[in-house]
Amino acid sequence: MPPDLACRAGALLLALLAPGCAGPRPPEPPPPVLACEAGDTALVRDVVYFGRNRPDGGTVSDAEWRGFLDSVVTPRFPAGLTVVSATGQWRGAGGAVERERAEVLTLLHDGGTAARADVAEVVAEYKRRFRQEAVLRERVPSCARF
């Protein structure tokens, strides 16, 4: 491993293991440049997983989910989005495996600072509104054609 890559990897590991000690995180680097086919558009695909269980034992109702989608997500991504209902499981901070209904949101965007901030705001608002311990987000560069 080149020395500069080893240093960055070590710094990243320290930032992940001790976020309170590492100070503010540096801004995310831009997504890698893709070699898309002619006619394709290079975009970023964020897939966000929203668990529907609440910490008090209840669940986020269908009406509450639709309200969140309509008032928080759609205004930030009016060009379109995809939602798929799913069932998932994960291990929370308490160590127990939790199974729950989930909504999987797929967003395609330009990857710019504003779009990344919009995704972060959606995640933060869901966690705040429904008292969620975590919301999973995955981000990958993508080529798309409409």
| CA–CA dist 124, 54 (Å, integer) | 15
pLDDT of the residue at 3:
46
| CA–CA dist 131, 106 (Å, integer) | 22
Mean pLDDT of the chain: 85
What global pTM score does this model have?
0.75
Q: What is the pLDDT of residues 106-118, one digit of tens each?
A: 999 999 999 999 9
Provide the pLDDT confidence category of residue 53 given band limits of 50, 70 and 90.
very high
31-144 — its CATH code? 3.30.70.120
Interval 78-95 mean pLDDT:
93
Could you give the percent of the chain with pLDDT greater than 90?
68
